[in-house]
Structure 1
Amino acid sequence: MATCGGGSGLASNNDVQETPSNSAQSGAAVALSNVPNSSLGSSASPPVLPLHREPVYNWQATKSSLKERFAYLFNNELLSDVRFVVGKGRQAQRIPAHKFVLAAGSAVFDAMFNGGMATISTEIELPDVEPAAFLSLLRFLYSDDVHIGPETVMSALNTAKKYAVPALASHCVEFVTKHLRADNAFMLLTQARLYDDPQISSLCLDTIDKSTAEAVNADGFTDIDLDTLCAVLERDTLSIRENRLFGAVVRWAEAECCRQQLPPTSENKQKVLGKALPLIRFPLMSVEKFPAVNPKPRASYIDRPRCCLRGEECSINRFQQVESRWGYSGTSDRIRFNVSRRISIVGFGLYGSIHGHTDYQVNIQIMESDKHLTLGQNDTGFSCDGTSNTFRVMFTEPVEILPNVSYTACATLKGPDSHYGTKGLKKVTQESAAGTKTTFVFFKSPGNNNGTSVEDGQIPEIIYYRLD
């Protein structure tokens, strides 16, 4: 994972102080300054220390408040009656504590020391807890002070939940909410997934959705694990063009090849991507980008645009019958339409070849008819199998369509003769399960449009989402 330090934007404030860390992932093995008698063992077992030290004479008189007196006892052998061996191996730390203080602040510690199965041991091993996080927990229990940083906030949150200290957990969530940005979202997302925290994961994913391009350009993106990469690529709500997202995924694959000590060849990059590769929506990419992809993507790849749409995808077909043949000479097929309600068009269904399996190149557009304004387009391609089915061709981003405004759907195909539709409908109405009706009305587009009309031609299908 990428280290998130001063440049991460996760700065400390009066209530939250940053704790230095030697590990970007866990924030473990922290040597806290100004903490008396704290030791980091040099071997697998920390050195054994006496349970009590000679008391400091009249130290109480130097502390003017209860908080100061308890804060003085934090991580101090003075009056301690229990020790915790926290962490594993060389990173383990032996931390003195006071049962009364811990039991007063945590129901888990209360049960540990005073419950029906209370421990009688004066030394308790916690190998699955990170020392920095445990010290943050104890400091809070002794003084109400919050010492967390970008590298330790998730482990501190996990520890606060583990020992039932909701006030510290709330501080951790507040810290993430306040300081979460696109350039550290992937680092925090990886930690949130490691600690199985759905609340923080959701906050990170929302930030990535809103600022995807900035997030994938941050150093932390190439450090995420494959499962986290897949969790992001599965999302429909990323705000980035597929070409740019694919470029970022290639950078991740190169970094993963380096981690696995593999040459960054095309074959190895595909190998390390594994289950992430089918989540790239190649049908949304420009045709000129495909030479970088080997093997060439086929229709099995997802073609749904990444957008903030919700609800069910819908489509209408304006023809009642399919015939052959329809030829192409570089002229666009066009049909004008308006619609009764606000929608977002995400693509067209087009007819394919009458000669078996064929690849087409195609430019699709939607224009506002009266203003001759292009609202959306895509230079892409599609493969067909020789049947009379329609084949989906999608825009890179949804195109918003307003009610009772005239628009023109346009498709310019390069390829052999295709099927085409006949017995076209001037008006097509679709009703949702909730009873909401959406009506399309079609008109012939004036000028040279390769012969497509209301009655015959191409662009049989419009794929869309309702927006109201």
Structure 2
Amino acid sequence: MASSPELDWQCNKSLVQCLEYLFTSGLACDVTFIVGECRTRISAHRTILVCRSPVFYAMLEGSLAEKGEIIIPDISKKSFSLLLGYLYTDEIQLTVTTVMSVLSAARKYCVDQLVKICEEFLKSNISVENACLLLEQSYMFMEEKLETDCLRFIHDSREKVLQTSGFLELSDACVKSITESDNLAVNESTVYEALIRWSEAESCRQGLQLNDNNRRDVLGDILYTVRFPLMDATYFAREISFRDILTSEEISRIYRIGKNDMFNSHNFNIKRRHKPKPKRGQFDSISRFSRTRRARRYIWNSRSGSDSISFKSSEHVYFHGLLTYGAHEGSEKITIGVYREGGNTVYRGSHEITRSTYCKVVFDDVISVDHGETIDVVIHGGIHATAYGLDGKSRVEYQNALITFSNSTLYPCVCTNTSRGQIPGLLLSL
């Protein structure tokens, strides 16, 4: 039943304001919908609907027009009200929790402009916090494009999304779509730990006790999306081999795969996941000194003829370049070499530095560094710098990686080491 109209609802109002009042007040409505599972009554105006949607035109004025109250069982009251409000005003306030159902309704009633608005909202509002929610909704409403966009975002964000509460609330189908992908470039231990957390949440939802047998049961085939044969052997032995997540036969098989790549892998995937491509120019500076001191006579004297340091990372990283202290003469050319274990040359190039306090030396090529791999960085011939570092840190945290520095054994140097000297930092990305 319409409420009593305000006396001045038409005065000094725009067309949109008057139409909005007609809708929200229920004044002069001539069609009623029974909406959603709760069968909520929502009234509207035929003229507005038929001129905004070809589907509403067919429902209300076409040869097969429905008579009396119209039942809309598959759309919630909230979403249907938002749809009608847009038809009256060309305005809508979308949220992450409502956009998918509104998009589905807009598609159903061929409101093309609202479809575009919803798609743009989704494109610009996917985040670490809501990516899993949107993935679940895209799966529910069969929005394949959004599903692809969500999965791409999750793969790019990697372990950040796997650690959210939203991941724990996903359906098993959506969990599997994430963890089975070759594009999920994380350590297998990260995938395993995320699935264990999800299995515990799912066990609670099903009222099951938290034990390994139930974790295994709720995971089902999703467990095989963890590429156990590629997992760090020490981690596997310490965290998995003595649990009941895998059977003794499966554990034995994984050990045998590790020793012989030709051994039948059975259900276990032994294909390595794709590593994300690094983006040139997008990196972080990792500093290894706590203090900087001006060199005596403003010149760093490298008695060894070179400056060098070694590092390794607990996670796969990309090595973009290094930091140096500024040149004494205002500019100086230096030669930088980067070497893997055994002395294999990864990079060697000439670069010019200025007199700035710190100079960023960016390599011509981005270097991929596997976790646990030792890399030697050498400034051949040393550097005539105005400063040097003190109180060096042997370990520096970088996001979820631990960078460990050590003295170079390939190119040992007296002046530069883990505690003092040159090469104050690295340019890295994950």
Q: CA deviation at 1:69?
A: 1.2
Give the superposed CA RMSD. 2.5
Q: Do residues 106 (structure 1) and 53 (structure 2) align? A: yes
Kept after mapping to 1: 8 A contact 2:9/2:21: no
Which of 197, 200, 216 is equivalent to 1:254?
A: 200
Separation in structure 2 between the aligned mates of residue 56 and residue 182 of structure 1, nearest angstrom: 46
Separation in structure 1 between the aligned mates of residue 103 and residue 160 of structure 2, nearest angstrom: 26
Q: Which residue of 2 aligns with 1:28?
A: none
SS of corresponding position for 2:24: coil
Q: Which residue of 2 aligns with 1:306?
A: 273
TM-score, structure 1 normalization: 0.54
SS of corresponding position for 2:25: coil
Which of 312, 336, 344 is equivalent to 1:370?
A: 344
SS of corresponding position for 2:119: helix
Q: CA deviation at 1:370?
A: 2.9
Separation in structure 1 between the aligned mates of residue 86 and residue 275 of structure 2, nearest angstrom: 41
Which of 27, 33, 42 is equivalent to 1:95?
A: 42
Q: Which runs of structure 2 are paired with 1:140-179 in the superposition (5 Å)?
A: 140-179=86-125
Separation in structure 2 between the aligned mates of residue 277 and residue 175 of structure 1, nearest angstrom: 34
Separation in structure 1 between the aligned mates of residue 370 and residue 53 of structure 2, nearest angstrom: 59
Gaps of 5+ in 1: 1-49, 311-365, 380-394, 396-468
Separation in structure 1 between the aligned mates of residue 35 and residue 341 of structure 2, nearest angstrom: 65
Calculate percent identity across the aligned residue pairs: 32
Kept after mapping to 1: 8 A contact 2:3/2:25: no
Q: CA deviation at 1:195?
A: 0.4
Q: Which runs of structure 2 are paired with 1:51-450 in the superposition (5 Å)?
A: 57=7, 59-61=9-11, 63-89=12-38, 92-121=39-68, 123-291=69-237, 292=240, 293-295=245-247, 296=251, 298=254, 299-300=265-266, 301-307=268-274, 369-371=343-345
Q: CA deviation at 1:53?
A: 6.2
Q: CA deviation at 1:211?
A: 0.4
SS of corresponding position for 1:84: strand
Q: CA deviation at 1:286?
A: 1.1
1:319-347 Cα offsets, whole Å, 9 max, x none, are xxxxxxxxxxxxxxxxxxxxxxxxxxxxx
Kept after mapping to 2: 8 A contact 1:84/1:94: yes
Separation in structure 2 between the aligned mates of residue 294 and residue 165 of structure 1, nearest angstrom: 51
1:236-288 Cα offsets, whole Å, 9 max, x none, are 11121111111111100010110111111111101000121111111111122
Kept after mapping to 1: 8 A contact 2:23/2:44: yes
SS of corresponding position for 2:42: strand
Assess, with a 3 A threshold, how the Cα gap between structure 1 residues 302 and 78 changes in structure 2: closer, same or farther: same
TM-score, structure 2 normalization: 0.59
Kept after mapping to 2: 8 A contact 1:192/1:201: yes
Structure 2 residue identity aligned to 1:289: Y
Kept after mapping to 1: 8 A contact 2:156/2:276: no
SS of corresponding position for 1:246: helix
Assess, with a 3 A threshold, how the Cα gap between structure 1 residues 57 and 289 changes in structure 2: closer, same or farther: same
SS of corresponding position for 1:115: coil
Assess, with a 3 A threshold, how the Cα gap between structure 1 residues 288 and 146 changes in structure 2: closer, same or farther: same
Consecutive aligned runs of 4 or more in structure 1 exceeding 4 Å deviation: 52-58, 366-369, 372-379
Separation in structure 1 between the aligned mates of residue 125 and residue 370 of structure 2, nearest angstrom: 37
Separation in structure 1 between the aligned mates of residue 231 and residue 369 of structure 2, nearest angstrom: 14
Separation in structure 2 between the aligned mates of residue 378 and residue 221 of structure 1, nearest angstrom: 26
Separation in structure 2 between the aligned mates of residue 268 and residue 54 of structure 1, nearest angstrom: 60
Q: CA deviation at 1:65?
A: 1.8
1:71-104 Cα offsets, whole Å, 9 max, x none, are 1112332010011111113xx4211100110111
Q: CA deviation at 1:58?
A: 5.5
SS of corresponding position for 2:27: coil
Q: Which residue of 1 aligns with 2:259?
A: none
Q: CA deviation at 1:368?
A: 7.3
Kept after mapping to 2: 8 A contact 1:367/1:375: no
Q: CA deviation at 1:206?
A: 1.0
Separation in structure 1 between the aligned mates of residue 214 and residue 84 of structure 2, nearest angstrom: 47
Kept after mapping to 1: 8 A contact 2:107/2:115: yes
Q: CA deviation at 1:55?
A: 5.6
Structure 2 residue identity aligned to 1:79: A
Separation in structure 2 between the aligned mates of residue 118 and residue 164 of structure 1, nearest angstrom: 17
Q: Which residue of 2 aligns with 1:407?
A: none
Structure 1 residue identity aligned to 2:203: C
Separation in structure 2 between the aligned mates of residue 235 and residue 283 of structure 1, nearest angstrom: 16
Q: CA deviation at 1:369?
A: 4.6
Q: CA deviation at 1:372?
A: 8.5
Structure 1 residue identity aligned to 2:270: D
SS of corresponding position for 1:105: coil
How many residue pairs are counted as aligned between the two chains?
Answer: 271
SS of corresponding position for 2:17: helix
SS of corresponding position for 2:128: coil
SS of corresponding position for 1:74: helix
